[in-house]
Amino acid sequence: MKAGIIGAGYVGLVTAACFASRGLDIMVHDTSKEKIATLNAGGLPIFEPGLEKLLTGHTISFTNCVKELVETCRYIFLCVGTPQGADGEADLSYLQSAVEAICHYTEADKYIIIKSTVPPGTARRMEELSRSLNKNCKLTFISNPEFLRQGSAVHDFLYPDRIIVGSDKPLSGEEVLSLYEKWDCPKLLMSRESAELAKYAANSFLAMKISYSNMIASLADRAGASIDDIQAAIGSDSRIGKDFLKAGAGFGGSCFPKDLNAMLHIGRKHGTELPLIENTLALNENQPAAVVSKIKAALKELTDKRIAILGLSFKPMTDDVRCSPAVSVAEHLLNEGAKVILYDPLVRHNPVHRAAKGASLKESLKQSDAAVIMTDWPEFRQLLQPDMLNTLKRKIIIDGRNMFRIEEIEMLSKEVSMYYASIGRPLHDSLTAKSV
Ligand code: UDX
């Protein structure tokens, strides 16, 4: 039995590779000829650790022909993008096109399983659309949201905390769940609307934890407390949990900002205010400015200062710069007259055209008045070596990701006189001395 995947983006390819590795026969479709040609030639259109090995180790076919996929597969996963549209609303045009194409080629009894993040009511509406396009259409629409993180998506797919299947008929839900028989985790069957909303609720909650920590960090800064200690104290309460409490420059990426904006739109549509989500986004939008104010406190005047931004992606192990706080900080600094040099171990292009791009960490630090860590790439730990730190013209580090432990910085400051500031962690006066 073949399962089809529509959309060869990161969700689609991870889904394909992981199902294939557990014995399912998989066919992947994408409208992009270029993507399918790359995949057929053994290449990968995206960077995701572990994916290449899984894709090459198993038989998966790739096609531009949706007819071929629809005719051969009983289970069809929709993994197309649902980007942010007007007024924050999720743009369902790719999803709708896929459904229209599927209905065109089949009247057989098949399952359309929506993995894309979609507002509650979408599976039901797509089922209605399929019936209106072809009255003999027997497609059953299921919601099966994914909770994959970029950078660990393969692991997240193979070892999830739970699998959610939303269906309006329990038997259909059970049948789709049987595709996951080799997965050993809680499996939750619910209505399609609940499954669809659960995805937004999960992402919003995680984002809210981050904004909460950032809010407490800004209070800790002024109250002389440390967010590290507070995180340990509250995170060890099992009701709160320690994950997603790391304070820093804020959350970015293709999911959290988009999904929270979509959630606000869903709220407006249903006449429900969602103040926690509104404030989560508002706090996050202010985090780059909080980093810039730390840079200003260190340098006083930004005009003509050369500032190295270390890390461009929204988090390590990805080259994705969508909604990355690093880009906002760079733009803020340029607007205030600073010269900005960008360095990232993986991002090849320059997402901030007015800034220069450094070829290496060392080259970016040379002649710079400050280094600002915006992504906690392991490579930046080299700054703890006095030789590397001494490459900077002025030994000023603004750690927008709290990547260094305070003890490490204290040790280093015994060898090199330096200035260090991070988020929510007040320091001894010796570390913020202005004579660097
Ligand atoms: C997220 C969700 O985790 C995933 O379940 C969903 O399917 C897609 O969205 P992703 O966007 O890949 O995944 O990244 P994630 O690891 O969740 O990080 C998101 C952002 O939050 C990053 O910018 C990261 O730096 C930031 N973050 C994360 C923090 O600032 N503090 C934390 O404690 C955790």
| Ligand 1 pocket member 244 (CB < 6 A) | yes
Catalytic residue among 73, 79, 255, 323: 255
Cα(390) to centroid(ligand 1), Å: 33
Is this complex scored with an ipTM above 0.90? yes
Closest ligand 1 atom number to CA of residue 325: 23
Q: How far is the CA of 395 from the centre of ligand 1 (A)?
A: 30
Question: What is the 8-class DSSP label of residue 73?
Answer: E
Active site residue 255: yes
pTM of this structure: 0.95
User: What are the CB-based long-range contacts (under 8 Å, 24+) for 123-131?
Assistant: 123/166, 123/192, 123/196, 124/168, 124/192, 124/193, 126/95, 126/96, 126/99, 129/96, 129/99, 129/100, 129/103, 130/99, 130/102, 130/103
| DSSP β-ladder status, 2-6 and 25-29 | parallel
Between the CA of 334 and the centroid of ligand 1 the distance, in Å, is 27
Indicate which residue's Cα is closest to atom 7 of ligand 1.
Answer: 147
The radius of gyration of the chain's CA atoms, rounded to the nearest angstrom, is: 24
Q: What is the pLDDT of residue 357?
A: 97
pLDDT at 397: 97
Chain mean position to CA 150: 6
Distance CA 363, CA 11 (A): 36
The pLDDT, as a whole number, for residue 1 is 66
Residue given tokens 């607007």 in the structure block: 335
How far apart, in whole angstroms, are the C-alpha atoms of residue 420 and residue 426?
10
Ligand 1 in reach of 154 Cβ (< 6 A): no
Half-sphere CA count of 310, side-chain side, radius 13 A? 28
C-alpha to C-alpha distance for 269 and 110, rounded to whole angstroms:
31
Q: Ligand 1 mean position to 351 CA, how many Å? A: 20
The answer, yes or no, to whether any atom of ligand 1 lies below 6 A from the CB of 157, is no
Q: Is 15 in the pocket of ligand 1 (CB under 6 A)?
A: no
User: What pLDDT is recorded for position 57?
Assistant: 82
Q: What is the pLDDT along the chain (436 residues), one digit of tens a residue?
A: 689 999 999 999 999 999 999 999 999 999 999 999 999 999 999 888 899 999 888 889 999 999 999 999 999 999 999 999 999 999 999 999 999 999 999 999 999 999 999 999 999 999 999 999 999 999 999 999 999 999 899 999 999 999 999 999 999 999 999 999 999 999 999 999 999 999 999 999 999 999 999 999 999 999 999 999 999 999 999 999 999 999 999 999 999 999 999 999 999 999 999 999 999 999 999 999 999 999 999 999 999 999 999 999 999 988 899 999 999 999 999 999 999 999 999 999 999 999 999 999 999 999 999 999 999 999 999 999 999 999 999 999 999 999 999 999 999 999 999 999 999 998 877 777 667 8
d(C-alpha 91, C-alpha 223), whole Å: 43
